[in-house]
Structure 1
Amino acid sequence: MILKTTKTCLLIAIVFLIGFKVSAQNPDQSVIQLWTKKDLKFDSPKTGNPLLPGYYADPTILEDNSTFYIYATTDMPNWNDITKLAVWTSKDFVNWKCDYLNWPTKEQCKSNTGTASGVWAPSVIKAPNGKFYMYVTIGQEIWVGIADHPTGPWKNLKKDNTPLVRHKEYYYVETIDAECFVDDDGQAYLYWGSSDSGRDIEGRCLAAKLNPDMVSFAEMPKDVTPPHYFEAPYMFKKNGQYYFSYSWGKTWDETYQIRYSTGPTPFGPWKEGMVRPILSTDDNDNKIKSTGHHTILKFKDKYYIVYHRFNTLDKYNISQKLRQVAVDVLNFNPDGSLQRVVTTHKGVGALQPVKMKLNLAFEAKTTSSSDLDSMVTKSKFAVDENNGTLWIGKKYAQEWLQLDLGIVKSFNEIQIFPEFPIKAYQYKIQVSDDDKNWKLAEDQWKNTKIGAPLVSQSKFKTRYIRIILRNEKQNPRPGIWEVKIY
C-alpha cells in the first residue's frame, strides 16, 4: 500500500514538474508564430498591408460612430514640403478615402520660434465633453486644434494663434510627437519628446497634466522617460495598469522598433516589458523594416497596433525615406504583458461588414505608355488591390495606363488612387470598345482638387479605359496605386 502511494505521489510530482517546465519555457507563443507565420508575399494580390494607398507615417487612429479615422503625416521626399494634414476614413477598415483638413497647415501655424519643418505626427482624441482635440507638430512645435467632428472644420484652440509648446521650450527637449491620453477619471495628460541627434542621441519624454481647457498645463512638465526611449510616446490603460509604448532606434534604418513599459500611474515609475522589442524589422522578410511610430486601437474587445514601415520601393532615391501605414493584431499574455507583434503583409482584414461590390478592374489586363521599372512599377500593379505596389510611368509629357475588361461592360464609377494624394493630379479618362476609336469620358486637365480616390461617375458601357496623366514640371510624377471600377 505504501509502495503504491509512493508511486502515485512520484507520478504526480513528475507531471507537475513537466507541466511547470513547459509553462516556464513558453510564456507565450508569439515569437514562435513570428518565425512560422503563414503570410502573403509583399506583391501578392489583395494584401491588407500596407493599409493605406499612399506614403503616410506617424498614424493616430480614432473610431467614432462606427467610422474609423486615421490621421497621419503625409510623407514627401522633402520634410519641409509637408504642408497639410491628411485624414483617411473608412466604415469597414478595408476601403479608405483620403481628405485634407482645413487646419492645420504650415501657413496657418507659424511662429517666431518655430523651424521650417512641416506638419507631422498628429494625436486626435475625443474628450468627455464630446469635442475633438488635436495635438500636432508643426515647425517642431506643438499646436492644439478643436473641432465638433473628426473631419472638422478645425481651428486653433489658442485664441492668440500661438503654439502650446514652443521649439525646445522645456529643458531643451525636442518638441515633437505630442500624444494626448485621457484617464478614466477624465483627466487629460500630454506626452511629447525626442532627441536632438546632433547633441544628445538619447530621447527624453516629458509629460504634464492638462487643465480642463485642454490647451494649458496644470503643472510644470516633468521628465517621465522610460527605459530605451527615443520618440513617439503612446499611452493606454488596461485593467488598472498603464502601458507606455514608444519608439527606439534610428528613424531611418532597420533598428527602428517599438518597445513598452508599464507603471502604476500615468507618470510611472516604469518597468520595461520582458518582450523587447514588441515590434521591429522582420529578420525573415526584408520588405518589413524600420517599423515604428504607432497608435493602438481597441475595437470590440480586441487590440490592434497601427504603425508605419518603409515602402517597398526604397531602391529609388525619391522613395527611400517614404513610409506606409500597416496594422497587425496586438495580443496579451494572461499576466497582462504584451506579446511580440507578428508583422504581416496579410493585415487584419475588415473590422466591420463590407458592402459587397465587384471591382471590375481587379486583375484586368493592363498596358501603359511606359514603366519606370519593368519589374517593380509595372502597370499590372495598379489593379491588384495591394497598397504596397503601384504603377509609375517615366518622365514624358504625358503618360497613360490602360485597362482591358475583356468584353464591353456596364459600370457607374471609376476610382483612381494617385501616388501622392497631397498633390493635385491633372488627368483625362478615355474609353473605347475596340482599342481604336476613343471617346473622352472625363476631362480633369485643370484639376486642383487633392485627396483620394479621384472619382469619375457616369453611366459607362465600354471595354477599354485609358487614364492619361499630365507630367510637366508643376505636376507630380505619373503614379497610381490602384484603379477600381464599380
Structure 2
Amino acid sequence: MAVAVSEQPVNQALATSGNPIFPGWYADPEGIVLDDEYWIYPTFSAPYDEQLFMDAFSSKDLVTWTKHPKVLSKENISWLRRALWAPAIVQANDKYYIFFGANDIQSNEEPGGIGVAVADNPAGPFKDALGKPLIDKFVNGAQPIDQFVFKDDDGQYYMYYGGWGHCNMVKLAPDLLSIVPFDDGTMYKEVTPENYTEGPFMLKRDGKYYFMWSEGAWVGPDYCVAYAIADSPFGPFERVGKILQRDAAVGTGVGHHSVVKGGGEDEWYIIYHRHPLGETDGNGRVTCIDRMYFNEEGKIEPVRMTYEGVAASPLTNK
C-alpha cells in the first residue's frame, strides 16, 4: 500500500512520449522490462552532495509514465556519502537487485565504489545487501562506477563497469552478491574498446553481442554513444562507430544510454540523457527515448533524436 500511495503519474493521455519523457533533471537511465512493464531507473542529476537517492519510473506503453520516488536512498546505504550514480537493474532469485555507484572515489584509499541493494518490489525500497561495496578498488585503471549487469543465454550474469577510460568485466555468483573467478582463474578482465570513456551496455541479438559505451566528457557537448559487435561476451570489441551524438537542432551532451525491446518483432528503443539546447549547467540533463534500428547486415543505424519521442508500444503485443 505504501508504494501505491507514493506513485505519481506523469505524461498522461499523450499521443507520443515526448522528449524528455518525464520532467526533472535525470541522467544515466537504465531501461528494463520487469513483469511486463517498462521501467527506467536514472541518476538524479544534481551536485554530487545532493545525489543521495534514486527515483524510478514505470510505464505500460512507453508513453504514460508513473514516478516512484526514492526507490533507493541514503537511509538504506550506510556507507553512501555522495554521488549515487547509474543504477543497473536485475530481476533474479524472486527478487530485484540494483547495482549502483557511490561516492565517486578517486583512489583506493577512499571508501566507496559499486554496491548492490535488494528489494521484493521493483518500486523498492531497495536496501543495501552487503553493508559495504561489492567492488571498492581501481583495477586495470577503471574507476568502479557505471556498472551494467548482463545475463547471457546460459543464465550466467556478467557485470561490465568502469570510468576513467577503462572497462572491466567480472563474473557474478548466482546470488549476485559476490564476484567469482572466470574459467582461467582471473577475477577481472579488461575489455576496453577504442575511445571508451564510461557507461557500458550490452545486448544480444541474433547470436551477436552488441557492446555499447559513451565517449567524450559528460559535461561537454560532444558526449556520444558508440558500439562494437562480437561473437563472445568477452569480445574482442572492435569499435564500429557512433550511433548517437549531438544534433544542433535538438540537443547536445548525448549519452550514457540503455536499450529496451518493445512489443513488436525486432522493435528496439534507446533511452539516454541529453542536455537541452542552451543549457549551461552540466547537471542539466534530461531523459529521452527514440527508436533504434538494425540494418540488414546487423549493424545499428545512427539514431535520429527527436522532440516527439515514441508512440505507444504495449508489451502485450508480444
Q: What TM-score bracket applies, with the shorter chain setting the length?
A: 0.7 to 0.9
The answer for the alignment partner of 1:257 in structure 2 is: 224
Shift of 1:102: 4.8
Which residue number in structure 1 is paired with residue 120 of structure 2?
Answer: 148
* Alignment match of 1:135 (pick from 73, 94, 99): 99
- Work out the CA distance in 1 between the residues paired with 2:82 and 2:119: 24
Matched residue, 2:61: 92
Q: Look up the equivalent residue of 1:150 and give its one-letter code.
A: P
Say whether the 8 Å CA contact 1:193–1:232 is kept in structure 2: yes
Inter-partner Cα distance in structure 1 for 2:133 and 2:252: 34
Larger RCO of the pair (alpha carbons < 8 Å, separation 6+):
2
Give how far 1:260 is off.
0.2
Work out the CA distance in 1 between the residues paired with 2:60 and 2:309. Answer: 17
Match of 1:69 in 2: 39
In 1, Cα distance between equivalents of 2:167 and 2:16: 39
**Structure 2 counterpart of 1:119:** 84
> SS at 1:145's partner residue?
strand
Partner of 2:260: 297
Q: By percentage of residues, which structure has more strand?
A: 2
Q: Is the 8 A contact 1:306 1:325 kept in 2?
A: yes
Question: Are the aligned partners of 1:106 and 1:118 in contact in 2 as well (CA < 8 Å)?
Answer: no
Q: Which residue does the alignment assign to 1:399?
A: none
Of residues 213, 221, 230, the one that matches 2:188 is: 221
Larger radius of gyration: 1
Q: Quote the offset at 1:89 in angstroms.
A: 1.5
CA contact (8 A) 1:49 1:346 kept: yes
1:146–1:154 Cα contact (<8 Å) kept: yes
The offset of 1:349, in angstroms, is: 2.2
User: Are 2:251 and 1:282 aligned?
Assistant: no
AA aligned opposite 1:305? I
Task: Provide Cα deviations, 1:215-246, integer angstroms capped at 9, x if missing partner.
Answer: 11112111011121100000111111111000
Q: Distance in 1 between matches of 2:150 and 2:166?
A: 18
Which 5+ residue runs of structure 2 have no aligned equivalent?
1-14, 105-112, 182-186
CA contact (8 A) 1:227 1:261 kept: no
**What is the CA-CA distance between 1:61 and the residue it aligns to?**
1.2
Measure how far apart 1:351 and its partner are: 1.6
For 2:304 and 2:70, the matched residues in 1 are separated by: 33
Aligned to 1:417: none
Show structure 1 runs of 4+ deviating over 4 A: none
Check the 8 A contact 1:55/1:311 in 2, yes or no.
no
Aligned pairs for 1:337-348 within 5 A: 337-348=299-310
- 2:34 and 2:209 map into 1 onto residues whose CA distance is 23
Whichever residue aligns with residue 98 of structure 1, its letter is K
User: Aligned with 2:49: secondary structure?
Assistant: helix
- Measure, in 2, the Cα distance between the counterparts of 1:183 and 1:101: 30
AA aligned to 1:231 is E
String of CA shifts for 1:36-56, please: whole Å, max 9, x gaps. xxxxxxxxx977111111110
Q: Mapping of 1:413-428 within 5 angstroms?
A: none
- Residues 1:335 and 1:120: Cα distance change in structure 2 (over 3 Å): same
Find the aligned partners of 1:248 and 1:102 in 2 and give their Cα distance: 29
C-alpha separation between the residues in 1 aligned to 2:71 and 2:40?
A: 16
TM-fit CA distance, 1:313: 5.5
Structure-2 residue corresponding to 1:241: 208
Q: Which residue of 2 aligns with 1:185?
A: 154
CA–CA distance in structure 2, aligned partners of residues 46 and 337 of structure 1: 27
Partners of 2:85 and 2:153 lie apart in 1 by 28
Q: Percent identity?
A: 35
Q: Cα distance 1:213–1:47, how it changes in 2: closer, same or farther (>3 A)?
A: closer
Displacement of 1:322 in angstroms is: 1.3
**For residue 60 of structure 1, what is the aligned residue in structure 2?**
30
Please state whether the residue corresponding to 1:80 is helix, strand or coil: helix
Aligned to 1:443: none
1:313 and 1:52 map into 2 onto residues whose CA distance is 19
User: Cα RMSD between the aligned structures?
Assistant: 2.0
- Number of aligned pairs? 286
CA distance in 1, matches of 2:293, 2:238: 19
Structure 1 residue aligned with 2:234, among 259, 267, 270?
267
Query: By how many angstroms is 1:262 displaced?
Result: 1.2
Give the TM-score normalised by the residue count of structure 1: 0.56
Distance 1:118 1:165 in 2: 16
Other-structure match for 1:372: none
* Residue 320 of structure 1, CA deviation: 4.6
CA contact (8 A) 1:136 1:143 kept: yes
CA shift for structure 1 position 146: 1.8
Which residue in 2 is equivalent to 1:440?
Answer: none
